[in-house]
């Protein structure tokens, strides 16, 4: 199926490895020109070289906690790739994921919310005029299914804020024909203590961990016109975990 994404331009944050890299690869395979960014600049450049077999892909360092970096990163994307049609706000911190809310120090809270929430709003604001110039665009924010359970840690609180931000931006950006949605993954492959894996999988409908490629369908749906009447939504991709709260 032709999703109509060929020739579009996407900026993906936190994309040198993990889910961000999976997102960047999926878009590149659809013919999307991708600005692959990460705090690890050399890692982003390496990943971009590997994905260049599919499309035009550039890679560079971008610290989403820095307004200067955000401004320069968006400007570079526009200069080298011609604009921005898609923003995938994937970069984030897992800080505080395994500790009680009251245990996180004030400066750690500040950093967590700056990266996981405020940076998404700042990046959205920065790409907005460039999307307007191209007749509209799509923003996809990375949330987490942890936002739908008891908010017993600061990471979950930050991801609930992402879902709220997605709703707010969807309303604010609608007059500019910019749709804003989110993806909330469940337990994915990665380094997690086995007891946590067992606990999470036990409360899912599907008794396995998610794979990064399980998120590709949701991403491509939200980035394409298949979801042209969808905005302000966060899609859970978590094996049915949230059904068993």
User: How confident is the model over 58-98, as pLDDT tens digits?
Assistant: 999 999 999 999 999 999 999 999 999 999 999 999 876 66
Placement of tokens 């998610």 in the chain: 210
48 within a domain of the structure (yes/no): yes
> Residue 198 falls within a domain, yes or no?
no
45 SS3 class: helix
Does 54 qualify as catalytic in the annotation? Answer: no
Among candidate residues 23, 54, 155, 221, the one labeled active-site is 155
Q: What is the pLDDT of residues 164-200, one digit of tens each?
A: 999 999 999 999 999 999 999 988 766 677 877 787 7
Helix segments in 52-179, DSSP class H: 67-81, 106-113, 119-133, 154-173
Burial per residue of 197-214, b for 16 or more beta-carbon CB atoms within 10 angstroms, e otherwise:
eeebbebbeeeebbebeb
Specify if 4 maps to a domain: no
Q: Give residue 15's domain range.
A: 9-187+213-234
- Helix-helix angle 119-133:67-81, to 10 degrees: 30
* Residue 202 falls inside a structural domain: no
Nearest-Å Rg of the Cα atoms of the chain is 17
> Would residue 96 count as lying in a domain?
yes
Does 98 fall in a domain?
yes
The CA-atom distances, in angstroms, between 170 and each of 25, 72, 116, 128 are 26, 24, 18, 12
Looking at the domain assignment, is residue 205 inside a domain? no
Q: Domain tally for the chain?
A: 1
The CATH number of residue 131's host domain is: 3.40.50.720
Give the chain's mean pLDDT. Answer: 93
Q: What's the pLDDT at 197? A: 79
Q: Is 194 exposed, middle or buried (0-12, 13-18, 19+ CB in 10 A)?
A: exposed
Contact 180, 137 (CB under 8 A): no
């Amino acid at each position: 199926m032709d999703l109509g994404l060929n020739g579009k331009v996407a900026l993906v944050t936190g994309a040198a490895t993990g889910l961000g890299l999976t997102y960047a690869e999926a878009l590149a395979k659809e013919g999307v020109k991708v600005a692959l960014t990460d705090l690890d600049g050399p890692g982003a450049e390496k990943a971009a070289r590997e994905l260049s077999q599919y499309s035009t892909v550039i890679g560079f360092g971008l610290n989403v906690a820095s307004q200067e970096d955000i401004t320069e990163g968006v400007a570079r994307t526009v200069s080298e790739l011609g604009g921005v049609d898609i923003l995938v706000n994937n970069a984030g911190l897992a800080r505080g994921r395994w500790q009680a809310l009251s245990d996180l120090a004030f400066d750690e809270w500040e950093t967590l919310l700056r990266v996981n929430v405020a940076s998404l709003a700042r990046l959205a604001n920065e790409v907005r005029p460039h999307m307007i110039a191209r007749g509209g665009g799509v923003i996809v924010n990375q949330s987490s299914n942890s936002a739908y359970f008891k908010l017993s840690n600061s990471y979950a609180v930050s991801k609930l804020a992402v879902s709220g931000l997605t709703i707010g931006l969807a309303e604010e950006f609608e007059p500019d024909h910019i749709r804003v949605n989110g993806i909330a993954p469940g337990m994915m492959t990665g380094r997690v203590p086995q007891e946590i894996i067992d606990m999470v999988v036990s409360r899912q409908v599907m008794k396995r961990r998610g794979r990064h490629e399980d998120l590709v369908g949701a991403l491509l749906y939200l980035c394409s016109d298949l979801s042209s009447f969808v905005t302000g939504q966060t899609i859970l991709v978590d094996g049915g975990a949230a059904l068993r709260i």
